[in-house]
Chain A
Amino acid sequence: DAGITQSPRHKVTETGTPVTLRCHQTENHRYMYWYRQDPGHGLRLIHYSYGVKDTDKGEVSDGYSVSRSKTEDFLLTLESATSSQTSVYFCAISERDTGRVTEAFFGQGTRLTVV
Chain B
Amino acid sequence: GQNIDQPTEMTATEGAIVQINCTYQTSGFNGLFWYQQHAGEAPTFLSYNVLDGLEEKGRFSSFLSRSKGYSYLLLKELQMKDSASYLCAVKGGASKIIFGSGTRLSIRP
Q: What residues of chain A have their CB less than 8 Å away from a CB belonging to chain B?
A: 31, 33, 35, 40-45, 48, 50, 56, 58-59, 90, 92, 94, 96-97, 101-109
Q: How far is the CA of A103 from the CA of B36 in the complex (A)?
A: 13
Known: A41-B101, A42-B87, A42-B101. A90 touches B96 (CB 8 A): no
Interface size in chain B (residues, C-beta < 8 A):
22
A-side contacts of B101, CB under 8 Å: 40-42
Inter-subunit contact A101/B48 (CB<8 Å): yes
Which residues of chain B from 28 to 69 have a CB within 8 Å of any chain A CB? 30-31, 33, 41-45, 48
Judge if B100 is at the interface, Cβ distance under 8 Å.
yes
Q: Which residue of B lies closest to A92 (CB)?
A: B97
Q: How far is the CA of A105 from the CA of B98 in the complex (A)?
A: 14
Q: Interface residues of B: mostly helix, strand, loop or mixed?
A: mixed
Q: How far is the CB of B61 from chain A (nearest CB, A)?
A: 15
Inter-subunit contact A42/B95 (CB<8 Å): no
Q: How far is the CA of A40 from the CA of B9 in the complex (A)?
A: 11
Known: A41-B101, A103-B48, A109-B42. A48 touches B96 (CB 8 A): yes
Q: How far is the CB of B103 from chain A (nearest CB, A)?
A: 9
B-side contacts of A104, CB under 8 Å: 33, 45, 89, 97
Of A59, A102, A106, A108, which contacts B98 at CB under 8 A?
A59
Q: How far is the CB of B56 from chain A (nearest CB, A)?
A: 14
Q: How far is the CA of A96 from the CA of B91 in the complex (A)?
A: 12
Inter-subunit contact B96/A44 (CB<8 Å): no
Q: How far is the CB of B76 from chain A (nearest CB, A)?
A: 21
Taking A42-B102, A48-B95, A104-B33 as known contacts, 6 extra A-B pairs with beta carbons closer than 8 A to each other, sorted by chain A number, are A43-B43, A43-B102, A50-B94, A56-B94, A97-B30, A108-B41
Inter-subunit contact B97/A90 (CB<8 Å): no
Of A33, A41, A103, A107, which contacts B42 at CB under 8 A?
A107
Q: Which residue of B lies closest to A95 (CB)?
A: B95
Inter-subunit contact A45/B95 (CB<8 Å): no
